[in-house]
Chain A
Amino acid sequence: MDQLFDVSLFSSTLRMITPILLAALGGAICARVGLFNVGLEGLMLIGAFSAIVGNHYTGNVWLAVLFAIFCTLLFSLLFAYMSINLRANVIVVGIALNFLAAGITTFALRALFNVKGAYYNKDMVGLPKWDIPLIDQIPGIGKWLSMVLSGHSPLVYLSFVLVLLLQLFLFKTVTGFRLLAAGENATAARSIGMKVTRIQYGAILLCGVLCGLAGAQLSLGNVTMFNEGMTSGRGFIALVATMLGQSNPLGVAASSLLFGFMEALSLRLQGFAMPTHFTMMVPYVVTILAMIVFKDKSYLSEARKANESSR
């Protein structure tokens, strides 16, 4: 048991969840304005790929991250334009976006780097690892804390800061309230002169930025390479984390922790040659159970109505 739950398990949990958490926060913002973004997977994939492209051509990690954000922004603009202006079904657009992202990245991988499957270059530098100063000075648990918390990429720390910032933004600022109102009842919001379309655009673009960061962490933080379809369902897991967290930044963080922990635990169990299928199943079962408990949130039923009437 000691071997199973050692420091590196918790440390790898933190690394695992960051992409999921960032994308899930983006999903939460979208869900709050009444747009259910199924395209998280595709956005994240675009982010991961363009981060590598940026790194390859500029040789600078930070420019690479910026480039990833720029590319996912373009993609989320497409999502916003299709679903808001052309009034296409949000879910259908999301699915289409996932296909498009998978196609474009594998195609561009071939066109730009002339490789198939994966791109790896030993000259590429990943995101730096930051240590938290003074944390190992804390008496008692300091050493353990520093081993778990230190030595991650800046995006890992940024994601947790963002959780708090988004929580404050949504529930303590006027703009946040406007955003919530636009999702709660778009017609009512419009009737008092709010620019609902602009708010929705803002939310989708913010989601794009977050997914870009998520992708960058995936391809430059966890490893320094790009694999075809390397998000491997993380976008959908993020979607589930959004649901489980009730589109509430703190809740989303907690549910992402659960998913990340289970993923890390499954990887560990694999090392012990134990069946991992059931541990990997846990988050999904928990989500279903949680949905029974926290049902009928008003904004969700709004989103549901939008889904149902649109077909």
Chain B
Amino acid sequence: MLQPLLAIIVGLIVGAIAIAIVGGDILETYKEMWKGAFGSFYFLTNTLSRATPIILIGLGVALAFRAGFFNMGSEGQMVLGALSAAVTAIYLPGPGWFKLIGAIVAAIISGGIWSAFAGWLDAKFRMNLLITTLLLNYIATLFAGYFVAYPLKDRSGSAAMAQTVMIDKSAWLPKLFQGMSLHAGFILAIIGMIGLYLYMKYTVRGYEIRMLGANPLFASYGGVERSKLVLVSMFASGGFAGLAGAVEVLGTQYRYLEGALTTPGYAWSGIMATLLANSHPIGTAVAAILLAALQTGGMGMERNTDVPLEVSEIIQAALILFVSAKFTYSFIKRRKKARG
């Protein structure tokens, strides 16, 4: 717990320096930032709705990281999930709830399969997972881009945007509060968080995953089949990312719009949340909300002060940089040694 807290303090100090450089009032700016993120019920729900896809992606990445797999492919998995959710919700016949569930399941499966494909390449050809997942990102976004630019393009409106037609209102994820942007996807994210926490802690498979990540040799000695676990954990990891895409489409955009998922950088924020929380499921969700708060707070800050939005990006980068270094720990250890 100590290390993330120290990192947050360091991040805020770095942010304060940046604010001072552009000549802003540090306390005033941070106050505006806080107001923009949590200042009112509206802003709070706004932050939580931005956090929703980040939490889901973070959970997926956390699962893969725990097993020792660097899944960098959340972006592609999310995009494919979003595309299949949109397509299913548009074309699946039946009542609204049926479309909704079908869309979510389709998203989880397509995200999962795309991710498991990278896992399969690792298990079968020993290809570096980090690279294959990165590569598959490009292929997935280009693939989805092609579909919404040509065969599935919405030609009804006058706007020349690469997007699908709008999903029928009956298949939308309900909003949690009247007039607020927060939707039921947030509940799915919280369920996912608790589910993943319990799964990792109490099931045999969860134990195997943790063991494989902590000590691959010990795990294989204990009879853990790495190649099988790669497929399973990568499928689950991609499934989370696919779900993230689905809730964005079904709860916020109501259609697949080219760039709507990649431009805000949800996938990278999710990875960042996982890194901040050292792959702990609950910690990941907390970190995701923190990152979303920095982003929405930054917007609020820009509205009300002269300090640019980019300060929050600097804080985020400083956070992750300091968490990634084991510097605080070794620093404290060294000091203890020097004293004793």
Residues of A within 8 A of B (CB): 36, 38, 82, 86-89, 91-93, 95-97, 99-100, 102-104, 106-107, 110-111, 116, 233, 236, 239-240, 243, 275, 277-278, 280-281, 284-285, 287-288, 291-292, 295-296, 300-301, 303-304, 307-309, 311
Interface residues on B, range: 35 or more
Is the pair A91, B216 in contact by a Cβ cutoff of 8 Å?
no
Q: Is B176 an interface residue (CB 8 A)?
A: no
Per the bound structure, the CA–CA distance linking A243 and B314 in Å amounts to 30
Q: A243: shortest Cβ distance to chain B, in Å?
A: 5
Across-interface contacts of A296 in B (CB, < 8 A): 126
Q: Is B313 an interface residue (CB 8 A)?
A: yes
Is the pair A291, B132 in contact by a Cβ cutoff of 8 Å?
yes
Is the pair A96, B324 in contact by a Cβ cutoff of 8 Å?
yes
Per the bound structure, the CA–CA distance linking A97 and B142 in Å amounts to 26
Q: Is B317 an interface residue (CB 8 A)?
A: yes
Q: Which of B26-34, B93-101, B232-240, B268-276 contacts A (4 or more CB under 8 A)?
A: B268-276
Across-interface contacts of B125 in A (CB, < 8 A): 291-292, 295
Residues of B within 8 A of A (CB): 18, 21-22, 65-66, 68, 70, 121, 125-128, 130-132, 134-136, 138-139, 142-143, 145-146, 149-150, 213, 216, 268, 271-272, 275, 279, 308, 310-311, 313-314, 316-318, 320-321, 324-327, 330
Is the pair B327, A86 in contact by a Cβ cutoff of 8 Å?
yes
Is the pair B142, A281 in contact by a Cβ cutoff of 8 Å?
yes
Is the pair B131, A308 in contact by a Cβ cutoff of 8 Å?
no
Q: B150: shortest Cβ distance to chain A, in Å?
A: 6
Q: B301: shortest Cβ distance to chain A, in Å?
A: 13
12 chain-A/chain-B pairs, Cβ below 8 angstroms = A38-B130, A82-B325, A91-B70, A99-B320, A100-B314, A100-B317, A107-B308, A233-B138, A277-B146, A281-B139, A284-B136, A307-B128
Residue of A nearest to B146 (CB): A277
Per the bound structure, the CA–CA distance linking A252 and B321 in Å amounts to 29
Majority SS of interface residues in chain A? helix
Those 10 A-B pairs whose CB atoms lie nearest each other, nearest first: A103-B313, A100-B317, A277-B146, A107-B310, A99-B317, A92-B324, A110-B308, A103-B314, A86-B325, A96-B321
Q: A244: shortest Cβ distance to chain B, in Å?
A: 10
Residue of B nearest to A280 (CB): B142
Is the pair B320, A277 in contact by a Cβ cutoff of 8 Å?
no
Contact A89:B135 (CB < 8 A) given known A102-B313, A311-B68? no
Across-interface contacts of B327 in A (CB, < 8 A): 86, 88
Residue of A nearest to B117 (CB): A288
Per the bound structure, the CA–CA distance linking A288 and B122 in Å amounts to 11
Is the pair A111, B275 in contact by a Cβ cutoff of 8 Å?
no
Is the pair B146, A287 in contact by a Cβ cutoff of 8 Å?
no
- Which of A100, A110, A243, A287 is in CB contact (< 8 Å) with B321? A100
Is the pair A92, B320 in contact by a Cβ cutoff of 8 Å?
yes
Is the pair A107, B313 in contact by a Cβ cutoff of 8 Å?
yes
